[in-house]
Amino acid sequence: MRKKCITMSIALMLALSACASDRQEDVIVSDNNNVSEATEISEEDMSSFASGIASDETEEASEEETAEQEIVLNDEIEERCPTTLTVTRSDVEYGEFTHGTYYSETCGMERGYSILLPADYSEDKQYPVLYLLHGIFGDEYSFSGDSGNKIKEIVGNMAADGLIEETIIVCPNMFAAWDPDQKPGFDAESCLPYDNFINDLTNDLMPYIEENYSVLTGRENTYLAGFSMGGRETIYITLKRPELFGYVCAISAAPGVVATTDKFMSHPGQMEESEMLFEEGATEPNVFIICCGTNDSVVGDYPKSYHEIMEANGCNHIWYEITGADHDNNAIRSGLYNLFKQIAYDKKA
Ligand code: FER
């Protein structure tokens, strides 16, 4: 399905997009901003949004392979998530995603989220929380609806191996629109609700989760990660509210943090390049990872450019590339694994 590169009608694009959601039926691709190609989105491009291009790689590890792999806990980045962590093990009970809603003062409406609770979730315990942000045109079902990202397995296996604490994963709907009829798209106005998510997250969703689930609070126990458009907002939110999140990973982050024009649209930029840093005296995340596949066909070198800007600005972060990965689950699995590995390393120390 990914190999063809046909310009499709919007209706066909929607039918083929990776993650089914009500919203996708109404996606609008704008042709403003003088970028005529903005209306021409290939099937390949479209299927890569929201939660990544479906990967050809089989993740079935043989018993020998799995047995051979030993996780050595150090603070080094590994490009690939070990298969021993992505396989379903018969002796591990994995959590399941469920869906809930909360009232958002920011948006003036009830909004949905998916949540992955540990299999033996209990009010008698308290758990750290990862907020995980989807890509453009996605919603709170983007990650839970794609078994290829192996989120349940990675977090379940790492907890079962005693590497990390059992962890709650919250997948919000990142399109924080104030108008229920507003739709996402490739133009500046249609991206504003994504940039508004910082308000919904910090003022509405996080307080709701902290009140309604048995969670550990504080930055040491609060993590943020996102893919593509979610990676862009992860960078933005982290730079604006660095005191909230101890561990952060922006995977294959989309353009638009700073002004630029790519094949989809012109981005006005959320900030100036000189602002891509933590303010003097700010509490910084313990770990801030920025990563991307070397073959990313959607965001290309934008993540690397964020790394270069932040490096020039003296803004602490870890940058790495996943050799051969596209805008896909190889990158997502890698980013999540390395985020949890850094958490595991720090907490052990
Ligand atoms: C863009 C390129 C990529 C953009 C968004 C994306 C809003 C997001 C891709 C994804 O989420 O998969 O120019 O502009």
Only one residue has tokens 């042709």, namely 31
186, 197, 261, 296: residue to mutate for ligand 1 pocket, most atoms within 8 A of CB: 186
d(CA 316, CA 182): 36
Cβ distance 113 to 170 under 8 Å? Answer: yes
Atom index in ligand 1 nearest the CA of residue 263 equals: 13
φ, ψ for residue 157, nearest 5 deg? -70, -40
Q: Please tell me the predicted confidence (pLDDT) of residue 49.
A: 81
Q: Indicate which CATH number applies to the domain containing 281.
A: 3.40.50.1820
Cα→Cα distances 121→45, 83, 142, 192, 206, Å: 38, 25, 23, 36, 19
| Band of pLDDT at residue 57, cut at 50, 70 and 90 | low
Beta-strand pair 287-293/266-267: unpaired
Cβ distance 223 to 209 under 8 Å? Answer: no
Cβ distance 145 to 97 under 8 Å? Answer: no
Nearest in space to 217 (alpha carbons), one of 207, 229, 226: 207
Q: Please tell me the predicted confidence (pLDDT) of residue 20.
A: 32
Q: What digits encode the pLDDT tens for the residues 91-145?
A: 999 999 999 999 999 999 999 999 999 999 999 999 999 999 999 999 999 999 9
Is residue 315, in this structure, part of any structural domain at all? yes
Atom index in ligand 1 nearest the CA of residue 48 equals: 12
Is residue 222, in this structure, part of any structural domain at all? yes
Calculate how far, in angstroms, residue 342's C-alpha sits from the geometric centre of ligand 1. 27
Q: Which residue's C-alpha comes closest to atom 12 of ligand 1?
A: 49
Q: What digits encode the pLDDT tens for the residues 307-323?
A: 999 999 999 999 999 99
Q: Please tell me the predicted confidence (pLDDT) of residue 69.
A: 72
Is residue 155, in this structure, part of any structural domain at all? yes
φ, ψ for residue 138, nearest 5 deg? -90, -175
pTM here is 0.88
Q: Please tell me the predicted confidence (pLDDT) of residue 329.
A: 98
Q: Which residues lie with the beta carbon below 6 Å from any ligand 1 atom?
A: 48-49, 135-136, 186, 191, 228-229, 254-256, 262, 264-265, 298-299
> Span 141-150, mean pLDDT?
98
Calculate how far, in angstroms, residue 72's C-alpha sits from the geometric centre of ligand 1. 35
Calculate how far, in angstroms, residue 150's C-alpha sits from the geometric centre of ligand 1. 23
Q: What digits encode the pLDDT tens for the residues 234-274?
A: 999 999 999 999 999 999 999 999 999 999 999 999 999 99
Residue 232 is classified by DSSP as H
Per-chain mean pLDDT for the chain: 87
Only one residue has tokens 């409406």, namely 109
Calculate how far, in angstroms, residue 187's C-alpha sits from the geometric centre of ligand 1. 10
Range in 17-31, 69-83, 298-312 the model is least confident about = 17-31
Atom index in ligand 1 nearest the CA of residue 194 equals: 7
| pLDDT at position 25 over 80 | no
Is residue 178, in this structure, part of any structural domain at all? yes
Calculate how far, in angstroms, residue 301's C-alpha sits from the geometric centre of ligand 1. 13
Is residue 341, in this structure, part of any structural domain at all? yes
State the Cα angle at 177 between 305 and 228, rounded to 5°: 25
Q: Please tell me the predicted confidence (pLDDT) of residue 71.
A: 85
Q: Which domain holds residue 196?
A: 96-348
Q: Is the dihedral of CA 246, 249, 254, 260 positive or negative?
A: positive
d(CA 294, CA 229): 18
Range in 61-75, 237-251, 253-267, 325-339 the model is least confident about = 61-75
| Band of pLDDT at residue 82, cut at 50, 70 and 90 | very high
Nearest in space to 141 (alpha carbons), one of 100, 192, 81: 100
Tell me, rounded to whole angstroms, the distance of Cα 258 from its chain centroid.
Answer: 19
Concatenating the DSSP letter of every residue in 316-329 gives --EEEEETT--SBH
Cβ distance 133 to 175 under 8 Å? Answer: no
Number of domains in the chain: 1
196, 229, 297, 329: residue to mutate for ligand 1 pocket, most atoms within 8 A of CB: 229
Is residue 103, in this structure, part of any structural domain at all? yes
Cβ neighbour number for residue 126 with a 10 Å cutoff: 16
| Band of pLDDT at residue 219, cut at 50, 70 and 90 | very high
Cβ distance 19 to 138 under 8 Å? Answer: yes
Maximal C-alpha separation, the chain:
57
**Polymer length of the chain:** 349
Atom index in ligand 1 nearest the CA of residue 298 equals: 3
Q: Please tell me the predicted confidence (pLDDT) of residue 306.
A: 98
Is residue 337, in this structure, part of any structural domain at all? yes
Is residue 221, in this structure, part of any structural domain at all? yes
Q: What digits encode the pLDDT tens for the residues 154-170?
A: 999 999 999 999 999 99
* Amino acid, single-letter form, for residue 287: V
28, 133, 136: residue to mutate for ligand 1 pocket, most atoms within 8 A of CB: 136
Cβ neighbour number for residue 110 with a 10 Å cutoff: 9
Q: Please tell me the predicted confidence (pLDDT) of residue 93.
A: 98
